[in-house]
Amino acid sequence: MKISILDSTLRDGAQGVDISFSVNDKLAIAHALDEYGVGYIEAGNPASNPKDLEFFARAGELKLKNAKLAAFGSTRRKGITAEEDSNLKALLDANTPVVTIFGKSWDLHVKEILGASLEENLSMISDSVRFLKSHGKEVIFDAEHFFDGYLADKVYAMSVLSAAARAGADVLCLCDTNGGTMPLILYRIVADVALVFPNTPLGIHTHNDTGCAVANSLLAAEAGASHIQGTFVGFGERCGNADLSGVLPSLVLKSGMEVEGNIAQLFTTASKISEIANVQLSASKPYVGKNAFSHKAGMHIDGVLKNSTSFEHIEPSLVGNKRRFMLSEVAGRGSVLEKVKPYAPELRKDDPRLAEIISKLKELEHFGYQFEAADASFELLTRKLLGTFKTHFKLVLYKTIGEFPPLQGELPSTATIKVDVDGQTETTAAQGHGPVHALDNAMRKALCVFYPQLSEMKLTDYKVRVLDQKAATAAKVRVLIESTDATGTWTTIGVSDDIIEASITALIDSIEYKLSKDD
């Protein structure tokens, strides 16, 4: 039995806090999901907003190879026929091959939210499914609040599924809408339902309000569900939906099930969707986080180098991720050697330069540096110690000025920079929202005279950490800067008891890394 996947990032995921997709964003995410190989993309509710209407109007641009688009909506309203219902008409007008409709399966919702009788609700469900089937649609019925409904009134919850099944629903999806069902209870309920509906595919749709959405989805599959809904990186209302980047590889690699999609593209797809959504992918996220296969302790690194299964549950490449060795005061020769291998393959364990690198690493970490989160700065440090680093510029001077009172609600800063490139100097000034932003603008403005490619580079993240809180405003600070260009992202570091100096150190490393990378 092959498990089908419905991704609801564009519909349920769009309901997450701080998530706002443009129509172009939605098209780009749909393309990424199709490339991954999901079977269904639930793209939105055409009756709810103009943005979803525009998406469905432009959906033909996608030329999907693997996925079917699904429009989402509710059953007909009470007191009217399916033919009269504007929501059902909008679902047909979306012109998708698949329609997902939800109906109430909890008697509390039927009586108190819909204000309908239990029998009328069953008619609303069967009429709607039958109407959509008569227009040639594949219909997925989402039994909303199914598990709460089952626990409150098992007979009625099952009658809701029977009404949808008799009307021709292609999938009966059991929804843990409030996200509060515990895994073992959910497993037992899905197994019971599977016995009653052996000939109709069962689906599962879980929310993460108790942190169990992934576990619940996996157990539902074990209990007989062959259709799993979720969002690719867990976006969704409240605490989010089942995170498919955790569900999919576990089904394939841990449970040995046949599942739609290519898990070798898991990391790439999760990263792409997060980038489009302008949401940082959590470094600690299983399978696809950058720390999912990162090792810091010397003993662990030594074990992985000898046999990766000693401290890794799967080979990272199976999900498109990669192994990382973190550099710290607990790093040994093996981990540092492995880290520098891409740009210093000639280095050996008995090379005195390796001992020098480790000694410098420990010295700087004692001062406050932390290279495990700043690979780019570590590479530059290593190249300098090995004599393979080429300096692209020298900072001759910098000066920053802040202004008060605010101008038009802002506190502008001005930075003056003088740089030297092979004996030629350039002096310039720039403004910014604060001294660090002004320095960044001024430095790149000056250096673009010599290196025009710096115009494609941008700073994407800036973090400051106080290292000695007892020293208050005189404390030493650590600054991490994340930068990106058309080909990648890198992080650099600076440490000082002057936040401007720490920032300028990290900025210099960031630009030097970009120029070295281009070389």
By three-state DSSP, how is residue 151 classified? Answer: helix
pLDDT at 469: 62
Averaged pLDDT for residues 304-313: 84
Does the pLDDT at position 266 exceed 60?
A: yes
pLDDT band, very low/low/confident/very high, at 118 (cuts 50, 70, 90) = very high
Kindly indicate the confidence band of residue 488, based on its pLDDT and cuts at 50, 70 and 90.
Answer: confident
What is the third-level CATH fold of 394-518? Double Stranded RNA Binding Domain (3.30.160)
Q: What's the pLDDT at 109?
A: 94
Q: Is the pLDDT of residue 222 over 60?
A: yes
* pLDDT one-digit tens code per residue, 176-216: 999 999 999 999 999 999 999 999 999 999 999 999 999 99
pLDDT at residue 408, rounded to an integer: 67
Distance of alpha carbon 76 from alpha carbon 88, whole angstroms: 7
- Compute φ and ψ for 414, nearest 5 degrees: -120, 135
Average pLDDT over residues 310-318: 92
In this prediction, residue 375 has a pLDDT band, given cuts at 50, 70 and 90, of confident
493 has a pLDDT exceeding 60: yes
Check residue 185 and give its pLDDT: 98
| Residue percentage of the chain with pLDDT more than 90 | 63
| Domain boundaries defined on the chain | 2-261, 294-366, 394-518
Whether residue 452 is preceded by a cis peptide bond, meaning omega within 30 degrees of 0, is: no
Specify the range with the lowest mean pLDDT, choosing from 5-19, 292-306, 448-462. 292-306
Q: Are 167 and 125 in contact (CB under 8 A)?
A: yes
227-230 and 258-259: which strand pairing?
unpaired
pLDDT at 307: 84
Percent of the chain with pLDDT over 70: 96
pLDDT digits (tens, 9 = 90+) for 156-172: 999 999 999 999 999 99
Residue pLDDT, tens place only, 20-45 = 899 999 999 999 999 999 999 999 99
Neighbour count for residue 2 (Cβ, 10 Å):
9
Q: Which pLDDT does position 346 carry in this prediction?
A: 86
Angstrom CA distances, 470 to 38, 108, 378, 475, stand at 53, 56, 29, 7
How is residue 399 written in tokens? 């000066």
- Given a contact cutoff of 8 angstroms between Cβ atoms, the answer to whether 3 and 228 are in contact is yes
For residue 181, what pLDDT is reported? 97
DSSP H/E element including 365: helix 352-367
pLDDT at 320 over 90: yes
Categorize the per-residue pLDDT at 295 as very low, low, confident or very high, splitting at 50, 70 and 90: confident
State the pLDDT at residue 471: 62
Say yes or no: domain 2-261 is CATH 3.20.20.70: yes
**Pick from 516, 512, 491: which is nearest to 369 by CA?**
491
Residue 371 — very low, low, confident or very high, per pLDDT cuts 50/70/90?
confident
Mean pLDDT over 378-388 rounds to 90
Asked if the model's pLDDT at residue 342 lies above 90, the reply is no
The strand ranges marked E within 138-297 are 138-144, 171-176, 202-206, 227-230, 258-259, 294-295
What is the rounded CA–CA span in Å between residue 217 and residue 248?
Answer: 10
